Amino acid sequence: MCGIVGYAGAVDAKEVLVKGLEKLEYRGYDSAGIAVHNDEGITLFKEKGRIADLREAINWDVEATIGIGHTRWATHGVPNRLNAHPHQSASGRFTIVHNGVIENYHLLQATYLKGIQLQSDTDTEVIVQLIDLFVSEGLSTEDAFRKTLSLLHGSYAVALLDDEDTETIFVAKNKSPLLVGLGDGFNVIASDAMAMLQVTDQYMELHDKEVVIVTKDAITITTLEGTVLEREPYTVELDMSDIEKGAYPHYMLKEMDEQPSVIRKITKAYENEAGELVIDPAIKEALQQADRLYIIAAGTSYHAGLVGKQYFEKIAKKPVEVHISSEFGYNMPLLSEKPLFIFITQSGETADSRQVLVKVKALGHKALTITNVQGSTLSREADYTLLLHAGPEIAVASTKAYVAQIAVLAIAAYAIKQAIDFELKKELAIAANAIQVMVDAKHDIETIALDYLTIARNAFFIGRNMDYYVAMEGALKLKEISYIQAEGFAGGELKHGTIALIEEGTPVFALVTQEAVALNIRGNVKEVAARGANACIIAMEGLAEEGDQLVIPHVHELLTPLVAVVPLQLISYYAALHRRCDVDKPRNLAKSVTVE
């Protein structure tokens, strides 16, 4: 959630900060603000709404070469200008931006700040008021900063300006993501390298409970206790075109269109010189030695994990459990003797998954992270990593990362195959071509969206076997971007309660790609149609019948989720588009969930 940026250099900071925030807007767009510092003091500009609203509020005549910025996803306090970051201390000396959640802020307020009237409803303001208090008691800014950090329980990435120091940004991180970037005569900070790729591709990762002193000429990383740390920078290998929409009206449409090439990129990335699909031998050995795999994920990644369970069990004969990360960490089941934990996360920063990773590592278990972001927190802290190679995904609703997760899970399972009668590389190539057919049929799929969802207030997605997992993902896509209440169900479960919700005209999308249950799911369609449902059948070649609304190309039955999800993504996109919803930035959501 939330995104922060900072710049210390020689040019005017405002445009650098605002452009950086525009690249981070996917992380939160309830409000935004910047603070810039010059010889006349610190000047704040902040506004409720999007970065475009902030642009209108800025006085561009104010010049400054150092500053910090923030785009907010609200956790404490409603979205408004008062709760927007940056926040200032009561004296006006200190200004802060913060990403994360301070769990003990009420206790800190009651203990230390009884005489100070807070101006906002945020936990963040407590941090800056504490720093001001400790400085007033005689500590230096840096010492007050460290003392305050030592009192905080929770997650934070913070950047602080001191009105009496025009050269320094005080920075710290715990659990929430943060990077520092190096330039020639300037340095930057950012929640994501994409924010500052405009000015530098050289970055250093920060670890938990580290403090950084940033000036235009130097970056000093220390522990919370003050021990200086040495760290080499790395190069972020991203092309600016990867993070731009180009000719597309929305990132989501662009990312859906990229899905065929994503499958091909993954195949190439995991191919050896002999043309065989392989994974790191150490990962292969860990998978083989485990007596049970525990897949931990949230949201779309959880749905991909359900498909991954089928791959490991059917291809590799390896027992698998799939768990929602936010539940697993606080309600851990009895574990097997030799477990391997697989964390699936697009960003590699998902807070719910990370708290599980910390706990299982403390128990001495091995962990594998499957992520789209090299060097992300879950990648660094796990024993092993498999990269998705999907390229940056900007739209809040995940599309290409989902198909990438499924493809990589298939490759991992295939690497330890026991008895299998197909060549995965060949079948992935066929699946990539089938996805291309689907994205090329987008205008036909738009018609389906208009026919079924123009006036709908709810919708159901049904399937059996792996189609059930895809139905869950289709329902999630529809509700998160069009705000149509949607649910995905196993077809056979309808008559155990859910069918009571079917009424005249209720849209029901049914997937038919699994031969063993094709007749069963068609029976379920007849059941809902008899009660007035407006049923849309999406079937695979070979299982399609006359009257089906959409036929998808034939692929290997295990790989049908890669293809069957695409029309559901497009249906959701066009439903949202024609309802005039913000497709890329749906309300109340953010791309990278960095708070529990």
2 is an active site residue: yes
Identify the active-site residue in 48, 309, 400, 591.
591
Annotated catalytic residue within 2, 23, 400, 442? 2
Q: What whole-number distance in Å separates Cα of residue 256 and Cα of residue 229?
A: 42
Q: State which H helix or E strand residue 485 sits in.
A: strand 485-490
Answer for the pair 396, 26: CB distance below 8 angstroms, yes or no: yes
The angle subtended at Cα 517 by Cα 514 and Cα 523, nearest 5°, is 125
Task: Name 272's Cβ contacts closer than 8 Å, sequence gap at least 6.
Answer: 278
- Amino acid letter, 208: D
| C-alpha distances out from residue 370 to 111, 126, 270, 402, Å | 42, 36, 13, 11
Active site residue 591: yes
DSSP 134-153: HHHTT--HHHHHHHHHHH--
Question: Which of 291, 268, 290 has its CA nearest to residue 278?
Answer: 268
Question: CA dist 280 to 296, 315, 416, 502, Å?
Answer: 21, 18, 12, 49
What pairing do the DSSP bridges indicate for beta strands 550-552 and 366-371? unpaired
401 and 376 Cβ atoms separated by less than 8 Å: no
Helices and strands of the chain, counted as H and E runs = 18, 25
Kindly list the catalytic residues. Answer: 2, 591
